[in-house]
Amino acid sequence: MSKRAITVERATGRDRELLDLGDIDYLAVITSQTFDAQGILIECTRSRHRPDHFCFRDTAVRQRV
């Protein structure tokens, strides 16, 4: 199982240093958690994206019961 949250946050000084933001004040922030079959967290990521380079696409596939 995995969980993903997409939010918008104000850019930090570190963001400005690393992402060459110019006049951009906000970033898209994606936080993801992936769990194994026993429900144990095996991966956690947080990524920050410039809005002028950000695109979100999602595909969901339901397992047959």
What's the token pair of residue 18? Answer: 């690393």
Tens digits of per-residue pLDDT, 17-37? 999 999 999 999 999 999 998
pTM value?
Answer: 0.79
Question: How far is Cα 58 from Cα 39, in angstroms, rounded to an integer?
Answer: 23
Mean pLDDT score of the chain: 92
CB 49 within 8 A of CB 32: no
CB 21 within 8 A of CB 15: yes
Q: What is the DSSP letter of 61?
A: -
Question: How far is Cα 29 from Cα 32, in angstroms, rounded to an integer?
Answer: 10
Query: What pLDDT shows up at residue 62?
Result: 74
Query: What pLDDT shows up at residue 37?
Result: 87
Percentage of the residues of the chain whose pLDDT score is greater than 90: 80
Query: Would you kindly state where each structural domain of the chain is located, as residue ranges?
Result: 2-53
